[in-house]
Structure 1
Amino acid sequence: MFDTRPDRGSEAVLVGRSNVGKSTLMRELTGHTFDTGRNPGVTRSPNHYDWAPEDFVITDLPGYGFMSGVPEERREEIKTGIVRYLEDNAEKILVAIHVVDGKSVVDIIDRHSGGEEIPYDVELFHFLRELDIPTVVAVNKMDKVDDRDERLDAICDRLGLLPPWKQWQETVAPISAKRGQLDPLEKAVRTHLHDQERDDLFTFF
């Protein structure tokens, strides 16, 4: 299910929970609509947008975490597949876009914090960094958030980034994918591409 990757030397990946707007963001970035199914958890394999003849692909990985009506075993399969995909392709991934829901991510993280449990969103963020994959947290649905700066500061705090959020603009990008408001994300992604001497890929972001 996860072995569909085109043979490309460079890649950007979108990761995140189900229902955070990854597919909408993918559509905004590529101009291409992907059939993801109506129910969360239906998409169990990556969606790739392949720019032949460019040696570059954007990949939308399946959503992880709780999904209504999806058995725990299946959720764990998906999570394991995502982890292995990232590990196997880490050297080719120029940037990871970790999409979170600006309205709910702090509550979700807090609900799963404590004891031995590490919230998925926090775990994934640190896992990407351990793999040395440049990561941008795309905080989506910000058009529905009133306390913008406070919310972004809280997200930074939960991820182990010392607030205020504005000092992390290469890492934290407030967006509204549905409204096409992606400027902070595009600037952050371009910073990471530039650092890797891949300004040639700016046309995609």
Structure 2
Amino acid sequence: MFETRPDRDAEVVLVGRSNVGKSTLMREVTGHTFDTGQRPGVTRSPNHYDWASSDFVITDLPGFGFMDGVPDDVREQIKADVVQYVEANAEKILVGILVVDGKSVIDIIDRHSGPDEIPHDVELFHFLREVGVEPVVAVNKMDKVDDRDERLNELCDRLGLYPPWQQWQETIAPISAKRGSLGPLNEAVRHHLHEAGRDDLYQFF
């Protein structure tokens, strides 16, 4: 279990598979550099970015799923830690940003869909909702996607949201973190901050 969380009453968390660009997104949002790696599994414990002047923290939680060279039991432990962290802090987490790779997310979801298997991304989306955390799906690397609307509609379908995706703009946010193109994500996060009565946190998004 992660024990490093700063004592803050408001939090936004980033969750998702390894290598989808969470740490790059964290850097774009905070302007602060974190360890990002070509190899999955670089982030093993949470990266917290804490604004001392505000009662707010943004947290990049470790990526999970397949990681080359990482044993299964370690992968399972990371996932369990992420789930426990979100459950333990759910009352303080205003938004859970689920980061997915726009280019590969549909293939990955479909590959892991079966009678005995729920894909991690789908499971995490519904888990956030179950514990009362508003999910925003940051669909990253969209600069590499040609059939943009079709891809986003397919993602909605897999998540149990009725397409077209445009009616879910507070939930589905197509972005390119590497290019600093975060407009839809900022809008979606602000929507939920406003709903939570925390317009004072707009300055961070």
Q: Same fold (TM over 0.5)?
A: yes
Residue aligning to 2:91: 91
Distance 2:76 2:126 in 1: 19
Q: Where does 1:93-108 land on structure 2 (aligned, <5 Å)?
A: 93-108=93-108
- Taking structure 2 as the reference length, the TM-score comes to 0.98
Superposed CA deviations along residues 100-128 of structure 1, whole A, max 9, x for unmatched, are 00000000000000111000000000000
Residue aligning to 1:178: 178
The SS at the match of 1:146 is coil
Tell me the C-alpha RMSD between the 2 structures: 0.9
**Amino acid across the alignment from 1:23:** S
2:44 pairs with 1:44: yes
Contact residue 13 and residue 95 of structure 2 kept, 8 A: yes
Residue aligning to 1:82: 82
**Amino acid across the alignment from 1:85:** Y
Shift of 1:40: 1.6
Distance 2:53 2:24 in 1: 25
**Amino acid across the alignment from 1:125:** F
Residue aligning to 2:115: 115
Shift of 1:39: 2.6
Contact residue 138 and residue 172 of structure 2 kept, 8 A: yes
The SS at the match of 1:100 is strand
Shift of 1:89: 0.1
- Taking structure 1 as the reference length, the TM-score comes to 0.98
The SS at the match of 2:90 is helix
**Amino acid across the alignment from 1:160:** G
Shift of 1:53: 2.1
Shift of 1:2: 1.0
Gaps of 5+ in 2: none
Gaps of 5+ in 1: none
Distance 1:177 1:106 in 2: 19
Between stretches 87-96 and 40-49, larger displacement belongs to 40-49
Distance 2:53 2:195 in 1: 23
**Amino acid across the alignment from 1:4:** T
Structure 1 runs of 4+ off > 3 angstroms? Answer: none
The SS at the match of 2:151 is helix
- Percent of aligned pairs with the same amino acid: 77
Residue aligning to 1:67: 67
Distance 1:12 1:29 in 2: 11
Residue aligning to 2:31: 31
Shift of 1:42: 3.1
Contact residue 106 and residue 155 of structure 2 kept, 8 A: yes
Shift of 1:37: 4.9
